[in-house]
């Protein structure tokens, strides 16, 4: 029949950093646990003494979906060994030595980063929560109130811009609506993205309304598993400037070239360490 609880033995897995580092926006910390929604499932996660314990609202036979999402079998040491041996990178890894990359659903990841423009993490979470409550399917949770799945492409495409703005989306509303309708109109095939190279998939994603290089790269990294992709936005530009070029001001193009050449085959992992370290520990100017 399945189990309501499952324990996974992990090594060097920083659950707090991973779920709070701005790569996914469905998680809420309650005490020592994290509650969130993955696809159509509510789950509570807790890290204790080298184990991640997961609780579900309904019995689960196969927990492979959670292992995949959390990337429990990824060889972190292999990635860390490829990072550049410089002080900023060493400090970032030392701050959060078990930070991981999640593997998310393409549509939810794409929609979330369309909403991320000029917003901080707490505000993105709020928009995602409001969208899910209003347009997502209710799903069972361990609380009195249901949780909600993220709304489907069809549901969002059927909305009006005014309705989406009521979820505090602001100018992001037409971008989300346009992207959903573009996908339904077969401007791109989301199902085909996993078969493409990073550059091919980036070009496809950028055909969508409101999707530029940064959003496309976030989707490639956090949904597609293209771990060599290094997303660059204003915050990571400031982090790179402060950490690597404190005495001069390289152009955005120069920073992009530096990001593409300095951090190796797991550059996306390196970016997430630098971003989270800078967000938590540095006062970016």
What does the angle CA 179 – CA 181 – CA 184 come to, to the nearest 5 degrees? 115
Residue 168 has phi, psi (to 5 degrees) of 70, 30
CA distance 262 to 155: 42
Q: Which residue from 202, 145, 164, 156 is spatially nearest to 182, judged by alpha carbons?
A: 156
Radius of gyration of the chain (CA): 19
**214 is known as an active-site residue:** yes
Q: Which of 214, 253, 257, 283 is catalytic?
A: 214
Q: Which residue from 34, 29, 95 is spatially nearest to 275, judged by alpha carbons?
A: 95
> Is residue 39 within 8 Å of residue 65, measured between CB atoms?
yes
Long-range contacts made by residues 249-257, C-beta under 8 angstroms, separation at least 24? Answer: 256/232
Tokens of 111: 């929609």
Show the DSSP H helices in the chain as ranges.
Answer: 15-20, 64-70, 76-80, 87-95, 106-115, 121-135, 153-157, 161-165, 172-184, 198-205, 213-222, 234-244, 252-262, 267-281
> Is residue 92 within 8 Å of residue 282, measured between CB atoms?
no
Annotated catalytic sites, by residue?
214
């Amino acid at each position: 029949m399945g189990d309501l609880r499952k324990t996974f033995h992990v090594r060097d897995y920083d659950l707090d950093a991973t779920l709070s580092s701005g790569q996914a926006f469905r998680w809420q910390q309650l005490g020592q646990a994290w509650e969130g929604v993955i696809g159509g499932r509510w789950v509570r996660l807790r890290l204790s003494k080298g184990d991640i314990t997961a609780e579900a609202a309904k019995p689960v036979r196969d927990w492979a979906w959670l292992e995949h999402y959390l990337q429990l079998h990824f060889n972190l040491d292999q990635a860390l060994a490829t990072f550049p041996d410089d002080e900023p990178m060493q400090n970032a890894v030392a701050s959060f030595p078990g930070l991981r990359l999640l593997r998310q659903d393409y549509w939810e990841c794409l929609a979330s980063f369309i909403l991320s423009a000029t917003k901080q993490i707490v505000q993105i979470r709020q928009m995602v929560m409001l969208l899910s409550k209003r347009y997502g399917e209710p799903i069972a949770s361990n609380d009195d109130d249901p949780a909600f799945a993220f709304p489907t492409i069809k549901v969002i495409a059927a909305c009006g811009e005014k309705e989406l703005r009521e979820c505090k989306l602001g100018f992001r509303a037409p971008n989300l609506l346009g992207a959903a309708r573009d996908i339904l109109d077969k401007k791109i095939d989301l199902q085909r993205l996993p078969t493409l190279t990073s550059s091919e998939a980036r070009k496809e994603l950028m055909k969508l309304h409101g999707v530029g290089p940064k959003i496309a790269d976030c989707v490639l990294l956090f949904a597609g598993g293209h771990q060599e992709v290094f997303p660059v936005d204003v915050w990571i530009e400031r982090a790179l400037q402060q950490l690597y070029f404190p005495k001069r001001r390289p152009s955005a193009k120069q920073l992009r070239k530096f990001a593409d050449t300095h951090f190796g085959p797991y550059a996306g992992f390196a970016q997430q360490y630098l971003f989270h370290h800078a967000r938590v520990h540095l006062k970016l100017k």
